[in-house]
Amino acid sequence: PIPTTVVSDGQINDANLQSLNLDQKWLHQQLKSAGVPSISEVFYAEVQKDGSLYIDKRNDPIH
C-alpha cells in the first residue's frame, strides 16, 4: 500500500476513501479522536502505509 490522500484543502476525496474500503464515517471518527472537530479545519490528510491517518490542519504553526 502507498500513502493515499483522503482530504485536500478541506475537501474529502471519496474515490480514494472507497479504494481503501473506508468511508466518511470512519474519517470523521478519526478526526474526532485526533481533536479535529470539522473537516474544514483540515488542509491535508492521508492514510499512511500502516493504516493510520496523518492530518495537517490549516492553522498548524510552521516550525
pLDDT of residue 62: 67
| Whole-number Å distance between alpha carbons of 5 and 2 | 10
pLDDT band of residue 49 (cuts 50, 70, 90) is very high
Going from N- to C-terminal start, the domains of the chain cover 4-57
pLDDT band of residue 63 (cuts 50, 70, 90) is low
* Burial class of residue 7, CB neighbours in 10 A (0-12, 13-18, 19+): buried
| Whole-number Å distance between alpha carbons of 63 and 6 | 24
> Which residue in this structure is represented by grid cell 491535508?
44
Task: Give domain 4-57's CATH superfamily.
Answer: bsu07140 like domains (3.30.240.20)
pTM of the predicted protein model: 0.89
pLDDT of residue 60: 72
Q: Which amino acid, 24?
A: Q
pLDDT tens-place string over residues 10-43: 999 999 999 999 999 999 999 999 999 999 999 9
